[in-house]
Amino acid sequence: MSVDVGLFGPDSVTWKLHRDPILLLGGLRSLYLQALHPRAVAGVVQNSGYRADPWGRLNRTSEYVATVVYGTTDEVELAASRVRRMHARMSATDPRTGERFRIDEPDLLRWVHVAEVESFLTTAVRAGVTLTPDEIDRYYTEQLKSAELVGLDPATVPGTAAEVNEYYGSMRPGLSLTRDSAETAFFLTVPPAPDWGPRALRLGLSLGPTRWAYLGVASTAVALLPPWARRLYGGLGWPTTDVTANLSARGLRLLLSTVINSLPRKYRVPPIRKAALARAGIAED
């Protein structure tokens, strides 16, 4: 009987990369990058409830990515079909031209996909995850499957590091800091505390050291952006910023690993990855 390891499997670069918790930082970086596309950010602002429930939306997005990476074939298709149906019902107005557009336009889906996978990869590598140039290209090629899930033709999506760089070069003239992107970036940097747990915990997350710690994480995510993206946000594109960002990302990765390794063994591996490893007959990390 064949084993259903989903889209990728234990020999994939995708499984190797997504086991590292530093991808949480990569996900935050991707949101800052995605917000520089005027139409993409307008679509989010006009359709998403992220301001009312940012942590819920973050959790749902994380669950979707984890399902695509580690879920069975049926689980992946079910999750993707829900996303496609949701996108098909949505539209937004371009605040610059007044034009109405669909959220599932290929150009928008492509931008979101590339910004996400490039952010995952770049953040991990700069934080110290070792990948060869061949593995980097393989990751982009593997992720064409993820692009197809949301309705893109894989032939139109960058599938290597060189193609991603070329794609960014073609997109840069159309990127800018709009009011939507500025407000989104500010919200990402100073989000409300989660609306759960005891009041004392919520207060601590709002005012205590956790707030300052998160601000440091958000600052690192911005610093990890390409120099041209930092300049659009009014920041500096100096090489010294890149060096500092690398050090911060490596420090955060070490901290996350230390915290996770201090947990009881049964809590160290997310359930969906644990299930995937079990199906593949592989011992837990």
The pLDDT of residue 208 = 54
What are the tens digits of pLDDT across the range 106-142?
A: 999 999 999 999 999 999 999 999 999 999 999 999 9
In a domain, residue 6? The reply is: no
In a domain, residue 4? The reply is: no
CA 109 – CA 61 distance, rounded (Å): 15
The pLDDT of residue 202 = 44
In a domain, residue 285? The reply is: no
Q: How many domains does the chain have?
A: 1
Closest by Cα among 13, 36, 2 to 144:
13
Is 160 in contact with 137 (CB distance < 8 Å)? Answer: yes
What are the tens digits of pLDDT across the range 253-284?
A: 999 999 998 988 888 899 999 999 999 888 77
The pLDDT of residue 137 = 98
Q: 281 — alpha (psi -120 to 50), left (phi > 0) or beta?
A: left
Mean pLDDT of 15-34: 96
CA 117 – CA 215 distance, rounded (Å): 23
In a domain, residue 3? The reply is: no
pLDDT of 195 above 90:
no
pLDDT of 198 above 60:
no
What are the tens digits of pLDDT across the range 242-252?
A: 899 999 999 99
In a domain, residue 7? The reply is: no
The pLDDT of residue 194 = 57
In a domain, residue 194? The reply is: yes
In a domain, residue 176? The reply is: yes
The pLDDT of residue 241 = 81
In a domain, residue 163? The reply is: yes
Range(s) of the domain holding residue 91: 13-180+187-280
Provide the mean pLDDT of the chain: 90
